[in-house]
Amino acid sequence: MKELNLQVVWHPDPEMAERSNVSAQMRRLGLPSYEAFLEWSFTNPDGFWKAFFEDTGFRWRAPYRETLDVRNGAPWARWFVDGALNATESALDRHVEAGRGEAIALIWEGEEGGIRRYTYRQVFEEVARLAGALRALGVQPGDRIGLFLPMIPEVAFALLAAMRIGAIVIPLFSGFGPEAVAVRLQDAEARFLITADGFPRRGRIVPMKEIADEALRAAPSVEKVLVVRRAGNPIPWREGRDLWLHEAIGRGTAVHEASAFPSETPFMIIYTSGTTGRPKGTVHVHGGAPIKAAQDMFHLFDVKPADIIHWVTDIGWMMGPWLILGSLTLGATCLIYDGAPDHPEPDRLWELVERHGVTILGVSPTLIRALMRAGAEWPDRHAMPSLRLLGSTGEPWNPEPWLWTFQHVGKGRCPIINYSGGTEIFGGILGCTVLRPLKPCSFNTVVPGVQADCVDEAGRPVREEVGLLVIRNLNPGMTRGFWRDPERYLETYWSRWEGLWYHGDLVYIDEDGFWYILGRADDTLKVGGKRLGPAEMESVLVEHPAVAEAAVIGVPDEIKGEAPVAFVVLRPGYEPDEALRAALMEHVARRMGKALAPKEVRFVRDIPKTRNAKLMRRVIRAVYLGRDPGDLSALENPQAVEEIRRAR
């Protein structure tokens, strides 16, 4: 990252820092500095988690006897031993009982303009009624329920209702096709599915129930299907299996008292995007993921009950359940939007922020790069005075989009809380704190309680050189394994070095201690013996005024061993030609050195990426080399694969 020469652009606001959750916690604990707080979070898990539960009011039905048990080895650690809880009580019941029942818990806006608001008491009642309906249908603790829904209020109700009675939810991305839905339902042997008739996207109706029905032909384990009436479109119907959700709710007895379960009781199987091989079902528990989501929001995003939080996401990606569970556990307001963030105009997202007074907005670099194409005049029309923090996740930033977001969305005053971890952690490993300065694209802290490190191939710590991201301690957000596949779980995260969680990201720590993620280690290029993260070259390419997006892969080369090939999407007003191709190659050579210049630059109209905004570099590489690209079910834009094939 030295080529980027990144400088500090944001300094902590003294008032924001003083009023932050972390500062308040440090004062109460008598810790003199943020560095002391971090070290304490690593070395004293008993005290760290006790303090978090006390400061947030997290509810345990039965107290835990032991914070962490590693007698079966680190991969099979047990947290909060002998504790009993139902995570929905911390998200709903306790707020109602504390007199905050009339506070707004959930706001929904639809693409076509509808708005609904729910208080904590109303969400509590909706969840209790749906939990009763599920019980009346025969749902038992441990049964798996697929959630194939758009981002509508019922998705939050269904998630919490299933948790309330001990069922296990399988969140499914709303844009999946039949095969992707079927694979996940069948892998988990789901007995139930909750879906919708359809939903609007860019003014057209997506026939969700039709997709679900096609998927169920290959997922015979599903016995009952509950359908939310969302779009009002005609749908296929199978008597005896299908039931309208609003009719089912009238058939059960509301579950006002949640069932308590041991801390390690699973409540969710959430699948990774599965860019190669079959998707991996990460298992999360009541005493794990909800705590991790709330802790990250509390320590990194400084969430307070007065906050209104919106993240551009989907229930099928980790950030969907994370948004719902984290914000409600901390007593804040969760805003969900069911629509395209740039429809009908490119400022739909900025309108949403102003209309609802959003204080914390989460985006992805890919979304920002897409919105940048429309021009800065769109966010510049909106003052967005309510915003105090921006969040980002999904993939590494390039400096230009980061600075565009900082200046035009955050107006130069809102810090961008860069946040990276994963589905298997149900939260972050690296993040940002409002107590430290920020450089573009950077992480200025590890997440409190997560002892991350940057190591070389031998597992030795390295600084100011590219390394691999590992975790040296344990965290309750970590998956308890892959669903019915313990060997694959051990091989993926625990087999490289004894006692270290290997996360698979390529990272760099600069001379000032700022972290950067350069991409997946699997995507690393080795050019003439020099290791190169693709995001580094992509950032240099995006600096060029002609380039809107870039993806870089490594391909075999007789001389260098591996050589970079770049695929670029041009900004409006630029046309692909040989002069521009040469200019881009020269631009990279000048910034990074001739030895690292790309072997080829190819022009495309789109780059394959997942719906949670990750560039599918492995797919690009496979297509370029004429190989099978593997599972494409997570692709947002399958037509982009053909773009890569045709690229010149």
Model confidence pLDDT, tens digit, residues 278-324: 789 999 999 999 999 999 999 999 999 999 999 999 999 999 999 99
Please give the pLDDT value at position 274. 47
Please give the pLDDT value at position 540. 87
- CATH number, domain of 124, equals 3.40.50.980
Distance CA 644, CA 648 (A): 9
Do 24 and 122 fall within a single domain?
no
Do 249 and 274 fall within a single domain?
no
Please give the pLDDT value at position 276. 47
Residue 335 in domain: yes
Do 347 and 454 fall within a single domain?
yes
SS3 436: coil
Cβ atoms of 509 and 94 within 8 Å: the answer is no
Do 55 and 136 fall within a single domain?
no
Residue 97 in domain: no
Residue 100 in domain: no
Please give the pLDDT value at position 612. 65
Which tokens hold the place of 196? 């919708």
Please give the pLDDT value at position 530. 66
| Strand intervals (E) in 478-529 | 501-509, 515-520, 525-527
Residue 420 in domain: yes
Residue 101 in domain: no
Do 143 and 50 fall within a single domain?
no
- CATH number, domain of 605, equals 3.30.300.30
Do 210 and 279 fall within a single domain?
no
Among 493, 518, 543, which residue terminates a domain?
A: 518
- CATH number, domain of 304, equals 3.40.50.12780
Do 436 and 321 fall within a single domain?
yes
Distance CA 218, CA 237 (A): 17
Report residue 15 CA to chain centroid gap: 29
Low-confidence ranges of the chain (pLDDT < 70): 1-5, 273-277, 528-531, 611-613, 648
Distances (CA, A) of 520 to 183, 420, 527, 533: 25, 12, 16, 8
Which residues lie below 8 Å from residue 550, measured CB to CB, with a gap of 6+?
398, 537, 538, 541, 542, 566, 567, 568, 569, 607
Do 512 and 529 fall within a single domain?
no
Range of the domain at 479: 2-89+266-518
Do 137 and 248 fall within a single domain?
yes
Do 71 and 137 fall within a single domain?
no
Residue 169 in domain: yes
Please give the pLDDT value at position 257. 96
- The number of domains in the chain is 3
SS3 379: helix
Distance CA 512, CA 500 (A): 25
Distance CA 58, CA 325 (A): 12
Residue 107 in domain: no
Please give the pLDDT value at position 556. 86
Do 418 and 438 fall within a single domain?
yes
Do 289 and 242 fall within a single domain?
no
Which tokens hold the place of 568? 């670029």
Residue 103 in domain: no
